Structures are given as C-alpha cells and as structure tokens.
Structure 1
Amino acid sequence: MRTVVLGPGERLKPAQLTRKGVLPADVVSAARDIVATVRTEGDAALSRYARDLDGVELESLRLPDEALAHALDAVEPAFAAALERAAAQIRAFHERELTQSWFTTRPDGTLLGVKVTPVAAAGIYVPGGRAQYPSTVLMNAIPAKVAGVERVVMVTPPQRDAAPGEPPVSPYTLAAAHLAGVDEVYLVGGAQAVAALAYGTETVPRVDVITGPGNAYVAAAKQIVSGDVGIDMVAGPSEVCVLADATAEPAVVAADLMAQAEHDPLAACYLVTCDAAFAGEVQAAIDILVRQSPRAAITQESLAGESMVIVAADLDAALDAVNTIAPEHLELHCADALGLVGRIRNAGAIFVGAWSSEPLGDYVAGPNHTLPTGGTALFSSPLSVENFQKKSSVVCYTPAGLMADAPATQRLAEAEGLWAHALSVGLRRRQLEQGSAALAPEALAAADLTRIAWPGDGADAIAAGAEV
C-alpha cells in the first residue's frame, strides 16, 4: 500500500486518490451495442449471448417455477439457517424504512399530501457464472418486497458447469431467491440482462426499476438505460476506509482491509491514522496474513495498486481525509468511535468500534450492503425501500383555498409571461365571484381575458389571501 503523509495543516486532496471514476469508453460502446441488439432481436439475442458469452445452450430463458419453489431443499441445513437469520434481520431493518402516504389540511380546507406507491415490477441483477452471491439476492429482493412490489424478477448468468438435470444456477443463490420472495428467475447475465429488464423481450417482461451489482458492462448498461427505467446506482469496485488509532489491533485492521481487497483487483482500501508506527504494524500484519489467503493474488494486486495509507498530522486532518474519500464502507477503530460518528459527513455505511466487522454488514446485520462507491457517498445513499417506491403529490383545493392563493399565483405567472397559467386561475376566480354564467362563450367573447388572467392584484390583496 502506498503511503501519503500529511504535514501539519495539510489536507488530503481528491487528486491524490487513485480512482478511475469513469467507465472505459470501449466498455460503454460495447454495452450500448448489446442493449441495442436486445431491443431489436429480443429472445434470439439473449440466447445467442448465453451461448457465445456464457458458454451455455439454454432450452428456456426462464427457470422453471418448481426449481425456485424447492430451492431450500437443495442446500445443507446450516446454510439454510444462516440464510434465514440474515433474511429476518434484513427484513426487520428495512421494515423500519417504510414511509406512509400522508395528508394535511390548511385552515381554508385545502388538502395537501403525498401518496406513496410501490413500483409494479422490479428487476434485481445477481452476478453469477462461476460465482455465487446469495447475500446480494437478499439485499435487493427483500427491500423490494417490503416496499410492496408485486413482481420481483431476478436475472443471473447461467452456470456452464451445472450437473446434468440440475438448474444452471448456484443452489445457494436460488435458495436465497426463494427465501426473499423472488417471483421469477431468468438465466440471463451481463449488459443483455439489463437491456431485457429495461425494455422487455418475448419471454422477459420489462420492469420499472433495476437494482444490483455487476461488472463494468452491467454498470455501463444500467447507465445507458437509466431514464427509460429506474436504477439504484452505477456501482464501481468495492471500497473500505479504516480510521484507526493506536488502541486498534493491527492484525484485525489488516484483516478488514484484506476483506475488501480480496473482492477484486480494483477494490480500493484506505487506512487513515495519525500514528505512523501503527500503520507500519498493519502493513506487517498484512504480510503475514496474506501468505495463507486462498485469494492472495487478488488481494495483493488490490493492495498494491488501488490502496493507500494516509498518515495525518492530527485527528481533524484524519477526519477530513475520510470525508474526502467518501468511502463505501467506513470502519472506526478508535477509542471514542461512537463520539466520532457525528463528524462523518460522507460514507455509505459506518461501522463503529472494534467489534463491528464490515463483513457482518455484508451478510447479516440488517442494513443494506448495496452502497455508493467511487466517492458518490458525497451525494448518494444505500439501497433502501425508497428505491422501490414512488411518491405522488396530492393537491385538493377548496373554493376558499383557491381565492386565497389565486392572487399570488397570477402575479408569479405574469412575471414569467405565462398568460394561460394565470387565466386558468383567473377563470375560476370569475366563476366563484360571478357564477358559471360568466364563463359562457358569449360572456367570455366580450370579456377582457388578459384582465382576468392578470388582474393587477397588489401586495395587499396577496397578503390578505395568505391570511385566509
């Protein structure tokens, strides 16, 4: 891990971070071609990509419902028990995020409010191929179901080495899908899966929202279809930042950094401390631990290429560095860890204290592990129930409410030169003041409509209306 030492009064600069930030142009171009092909050719394109890219000849793009219904029977009891514990705690956490429709009335009887409605269908992308990610299934499908989504669709790449007669999907992933309430499973991966969810094919009906992590092609496809369909985020490589003082255990901090590094050679790990000697102890611990890691090559590549140690002159500079990094995961290994939470502005998830291992959050703690990466914690939030809900404003005026707000509305419309906006309100005022006969064609033909639209109400009339 490369080391950056900040002198007294010096602050970490965003340019000192090694983030790539933007998806490679060739990846975006390839994803765009795939999306366009799926929109044009539908199922034929999906089957061809499964054969050419995944190495699987599919009889059907949709997994039989019976395979999903009996998925828990195919896994060992200990895994099923772990899955059930995780699912229960994830569901309990997300149930607390639920927001209800609400309404309020003003003294004049005008009713205002918000109507909360779940989307009708959500698609979750689960990486697959030779890997298995049951935790990703739980973290995406459960908040969707808690939100009230009727149809939750899972797409995942088919496995080429499935046993004869067995579904070409990891049994662990399938068990998680059953437990989380997934309704349909399609054996499609990559950018082509995102395109199928966004636009639909003969077999895969379109959805309203797409969530879930994937490789760069999946991220690029989500970026391309965003706007035609809702997405959670364009996720990049995994990240962790550990803020630690001399009270922390170097071997534990080393293991926590390695827990992110083993994800991906592009995963980024940051150690922020005010103690250079402690940083050296962590580096030495990594050298010992990595020797026995079955993912040593990936871990070492990540730590050498995408990771760094920041030695700050004082705690203020260290906290400033953390907020500049805006990490996906932040661990606070400090004597007063809880007392520092209020000073953290930018982090996807904050793990407080020595016992709060980040992998607990990956699997069973309850909060969602789909988090903003690449510094987007500056403005983004974890996946939540709200990603699967939409809100509609509700506006219901009474005659008294109309008369109270009409003068201000018409004056603002006049300032913007929007005549029909003002007329829409002015005609209602005329109806209330003079009766419906005043809106008859012959009456309107003889009326000064501009005077009705822009009656020249003064500040006194506007203030009087506001008091009603």
Structure 2
Amino acid sequence: MKITRLATTAPDFDDSLQTLLHWSEDTDAGIEQAVAGILAEVRAHGDAAVLARTAQFDGVQAASVTELEIPRADLQAAFEGLPADQRLALTTASERVRRYHKAQAEACCQGFEFTDAQGNRLGQQVTPLDRVGIYVPGGKAAYPSSVLMNAIPALVAGVPEIIMVVPTPARRDGSSQGSRGERNPLVLAAAYLAGVHRVFTIGGAQAVGALAYGTATIPRVDKITGPGNAYVAAAKRRVFGQVGIDMIAGPSEILVLADGTVDPSWVAMDLFSQAEHDELAQSILLCPDAAYIDAVAAAMERLLPEMPRAAVIRASLEGRGGLIHTRSMEEACDISNRIAPEHLEVSAAQPRQWLPHLRHAGAIFLGAYASESLGDYCAGPNHVLPTSGTARFSSPLGVYDFVKRSSLIDISAQGAQALGPVADTLAQGEGLQAHARSATMRLA
C-alpha cells in the first residue's frame, strides 16, 4: 500500500502537510444548476413538484404526497418486527444518546436572570425551535444511527414537531414500484424510538425544498439537519437563510495520536474505519515512534485483504491517508490542532495527559478502548461533527442547535435614569437622534 509518509524533521514538511490535507470544495456546476431548478419547482408547485421528482429519481409513483407519509403505527410495527438483537442494540444506543443529550441540555441550554444595582432585571430565555426537519439517506445505504443522532437532541430540546424525510427508491427489478419504495425497517424503527413525529418517503433536493418552503402536505420547518449526497448538500446551502441548517459536511476524517503503547492492529483498523466510507475520506496517524508507525503499516497490509470494502479503503489511504513521524507527543498535539480533525483518537497509555494540549477536534476519543466506531453508534455523544478543519470554530450537533436564545431586558425607573444619558451620548455619536430621544424622553 502506497500511503504517504511524512516526518516533521523534513524541511518541506509544512508544504507536504498542506498538500495532504487539501480537499477541493468546488461544487459541480451541473449539480448546482440542477438543484436550483428543482428548488424553484418545489417553491412554485409544491406537492406536484415533489411527486414528479420522486417518480423521476426514485421510481416511486404516488397520487398524492399523503401516500408518501408513513403512519406512526408502521414505525412501531417496524420496531416490533426487528430481530431481538437489532431491537436491543437500537434501544441501547437510543437510551445512551438520549441520556447524553439530557445532560448536555442541563449544562448549556438554560436560561438565567440577574438584577443589577439599579433594579434592572436582565437575562436570557431559551426556547426550542417550533419545527425541524431531519434528512436521512436512503436507497442502498441505511443509517438508523443518523436518525438517532439528529432526532434525539431535537426531542430533548423540546422541539414539538420533528419531520423526517428519507428516500425509498424502488428496486431495480421493479418489484417495489408504487407508492412505497424500499423501506428499511431499522431506519423506521429508529424513527419510532427517537420520537419522530412525521416521516415522508422523499429525498434529494426536492425533499430539502419541501422542508424549507413548505407544501400543501409537508409543513415548512425552521431548521434542516442530517447528511446527504452532493445534491442534498447543494440544496441545503441554497436554502440557508430561509431556514437554518446544521453544516455542509466534507469527507469523513480520523486522526490517531499514538504514543506506541496500543496494539498496532487496533490502530490500523481504526484508520480503516474512516477510510471505508469513501475514497475521499482521510485517515492520518501522528506518532513519535518510527518503529510503531512501521508496525501499524504492517498491520494495515495484513488486515486489508480481510476487508469487504478493501478497494475503497486502499483508494482512500493511498489518495489522502498519511503516516506522520513527529519529534514528540507535544509536537503531535500541535499538528493535531492545526488539522482540527473530525474524529481524534488519543491512543496512549495516559490519554488524559494530552487532553490539555488539544484544542480543536469534533470528538476526542481517549484511550485504547475508545474506538471511533463506538462514537458513531452508541457511546452517547453526537456523531454529526465538523469536518475539513471547521472544528476550529464549530461544534458537534447538539441540543443547543435546536434551541434559540432571547435576551430579557426589564428596566426599572431608576435604571432608565442611569442608562438614559449613556444611550443618549452614544446615539448622538452615531448620528441616530431618534435613538437618543427615545432614551431621554424617559428621564425624569
């Protein structure tokens, strides 16, 4: 396997690292044009446009959008019909995700008030969004974990209505033609457990448009979250401002910060876990022990043939993977901060020793047993994470994404006397006389 190897002692290391990290975010002009047309159709024609595009792209024919909505009883039936092991796994993951986000809400989503010396009461009121939409990929892939990670924090936040859209394309042999398409029972069961209120079997840019603009059947939402293909990402980018969105995600990433004490086979498989997503995913190892890097590389060569997605893993690692030899763990931490990875594993004997050195990462996994895959499914924290270095300024999806904050300003008569002259002076300085007069009219 021809994976890039770098050393921080090399004079061209900085340039080589930038080359390794580079990822073009240029959007395809054809996709942008197609998405713009679809969104315009949905905005103008509502349900009719959604039905036409669903028939075109998913092969699902329906007389009305109502036929594309899945009753909650069907979601419950899907859950109850799962094999016992799947039902237990989904329930366990759901409970852990819910518990984590309840703790998150208590820690960072509370209102407050205080009274100052003049008797003014100032504070913050936190209220949930009225309605949110979550997009869940469908078709070949099934992502029940995405349902849990997007819906549960919204429910914990107190959002009264969660609308889920998921494409259910017809099978190529035509056996599932009609208004159903191919529905994944795990995804429907996850929607039931997560408390989703309504589910529509639509996808693509037309689903994003329906959520953003509303139709006769699908209500307009305040925010859209969840992953999708290039068409979905382009649509979310275009409707931002009409509604809120979570983020525009780039390729998945993992960075393993290793001190050489963890089984190299474990680290190799952790690097594979992101590489298997697609050819643009990025897996990087930072380590001060050259012999250990060799051991990880050898483990990768040995384990790769066992992987069903070996071709994708190889393409990802050879195209964007990296094994980087650092001078020290401290330097490795500094480079990690420069990269600001989506997933950061600290594979070290004393992982918390390095935590104060790490400032930028979507999620930090501490210790030999904290594999990134546990975070994807069932550890509890959200797996919707910032990518492409955006962890420098953004955070995982959370309860705070489904609430908004309103400032509370309750001014006493005494406070108006004290603050009025201050506002008057500043407003006059800005040339805004009505502002100044508004404050001074209240002076005794």
Q: How far apart are 1:9 and its partner, in Å?
A: 8.8
Q: Deviations over 1:43-68 (max 9, x none)?
A: 22222222222232235232233312
The question of 1:392 aligning with 2:406 is answered: yes
Counterparts of 1:110-125 in structure 2, within 5 Å, are 110-125=120-135
Counterpart for residue 43 of structure 1: 47
Asked whether the equivalents of residues 170 and 181 of structure 2 are also in contact (C-alpha less than 8 Å), the reply is no
Counterpart for residue 157 of structure 1: 167
Counterpart for residue 136 of structure 2: 126
Counterparts of 1:347-362 in structure 2, within 5 Å, are 347-362=361-376
Of 52, 61, 71, which residue of structure 1 is paired with 2:68? 61
Counterpart of 1:310 in 2: which secondary structure?
Answer: strand
Asked whether the equivalents of residues 8 and 313 of structure 1 are also in contact (C-alpha less than 8 Å), the reply is no
Counterpart of 1:205 in 2: which secondary structure?
Answer: coil
Counterpart for residue 31 of structure 1: 35
Q: How far apart are 1:15 and its partner, in Å?
A: 2.4
Whole-Å separation in 2 of the counterparts to 1:177 and 1:403:
55
Larger radius of gyration: 1
Whole-Å separation in 1 of the counterparts to 2:349 and 2:357:
15
Of 421, 429, 438, which residue of structure 2 is paired with 1:415? 429
Q: How far apart are 1:11 and its partner, in Å?
A: 6.3
Counterparts of 1:95-114 in structure 2, within 5 Å, are 95-98=102-105, 99-114=109-124
Counterpart for residue 146 of structure 1: 156
Whole-Å separation in 2 of the counterparts to 1:271 and 1:368:
23
Name which of structure 1's ranges 55-64 and 418-427 shifts more when overlaid on structure 2: 55-64
Q: How far apart are 1:200 and its partner, in Å?
A: 0.9
Of 22, 25, 30, which residue of structure 2 is paired with 1:22? 25
Counterpart for residue 174 of structure 1: 188
Letter of the 1:77 partner, please give it: A
Counterpart of 2:409 in 1: which secondary structure?
Answer: strand
Whole-Å separation in 2 of the counterparts to 1:393 and 1:11:
48
Q: How far apart are 1:156 and its partner, in Å?
A: 0.7
Whole-Å separation in 2 of the counterparts to 1:29 and 1:277:
51
Q: Deviations over 1:291-329 (max 9, x none)?
A: 011111111111111221222222232112111111000
Counterpart for residue 347 of structure 2: 333
Whole-Å separation in 1 of the counterparts to 2:289 and 2:153:
41
Asked whether the equivalents of residues 12 and 324 of structure 1 are also in contact (C-alpha less than 8 Å), the reply is no
Of 282, 294, 307, which residue of structure 2 is paired with 1:280? 294
Asked whether the equivalents of residues 105 and 112 of structure 1 are also in contact (C-alpha less than 8 Å), the reply is yes
Counterparts of 1:225-244 in structure 2, within 5 Å, are 225-244=239-258
Of 255, 261, 264, which residue of structure 2 is paired with 1:247? 261
Whole-Å separation in 2 of the counterparts to 1:163 and 1:75:
20
Whole-Å separation in 1 of the counterparts to 2:339 and 2:254:
10
Whole-Å separation in 2 of the counterparts to 1:253 and 1:120:
43
Q: How far apart are 1:355 and its partner, in Å?
A: 0.6
Instruction: Using structure 2 for the length normalisation, give the TM-score.
Output: 0.93
Q: How far apart are 1:147 and its partner, in Å?
A: 0.2
Counterpart of 2:58 in 1: which secondary structure?
Answer: coil
Counterpart of 2:306 in 1: which secondary structure?
Answer: coil
Counterpart for residue 211 of structure 1: 225
Counterpart for residue 5 of structure 1: 7
Q: How far apart are 1:427 and its partner, in Å?
A: 0.9
Counterpart for residue 70 of structure 1: 77
Counterpart for residue 394 of structure 2: 380
Letter of the 1:342 partner, please give it: P
Q: How far apart are 1:225 and its partner, in Å?
A: 0.9
Which runs of 5 or more structure 1 residues have no equivalent in the other structure? Answer: 434-468
Asked whether the equivalents of residues 23 and 216 of structure 1 are also in contact (C-alpha less than 8 Å), the reply is no
Counterpart of 2:6 in 1: which secondary structure?
Answer: strand
Whole-Å separation in 1 of the counterparts to 2:220 and 2:424:
43
Q: How far apart are 1:70 and its partner, in Å?
A: 2.0
Cα 1:118–1:142 shift into 2, 3 Å: same
Q: Deviations over 1:262-305 (max 9, x none)?
A: 11111111111122222222122111111011111111111111
Counterpart for residue 293 of structure 1: 307
Q: Deviations over 1:151-202 (max 9, x none)?
A: 0011111132375897632000000000000000011111221111111112
Letter of the 1:51 partner, please give it: A
Counterpart of 1:131 in 2: which secondary structure?
Answer: coil
Asked whether the equivalents of residues 47 and 61 of structure 1 are also in contact (C-alpha less than 8 Å), the reply is no
Whole-Å separation in 2 of the counterparts to 1:56 and 1:23:
32
Asked whether the equivalents of residues 61 and 177 of structure 2 are also in contact (C-alpha less than 8 Å), the reply is no
Whole-Å separation in 2 of the counterparts to 1:12 and 1:51:
50
Letter of the 1:233 partner, please give it: M
Q: Deviations over 1:419-440 (max 9, x none)?
A: 11000011111xxx2xxxxxxx
Of 88, 92, 96, which residue of structure 1 is paired with 2:95? 88
Q: How far apart are 1:337 and its partner, in Å?
A: 1.2
Counterpart of 1:136 in 2: which secondary structure?
Answer: helix
Whole-Å separation in 1 of the counterparts to 2:136 and 2:144:
8
Asked whether the equivalents of residues 79 and 192 of structure 2 are also in contact (C-alpha less than 8 Å), the reply is yes
Name which of structure 1's ranges 239-248 and 31-40 shifts more when overlaid on structure 2: 31-40
What is the number of equivalent residue pairs in this alignment? Answer: 430
Asked whether the equivalents of residues 4 and 309 of structure 1 are also in contact (C-alpha less than 8 Å), the reply is yes
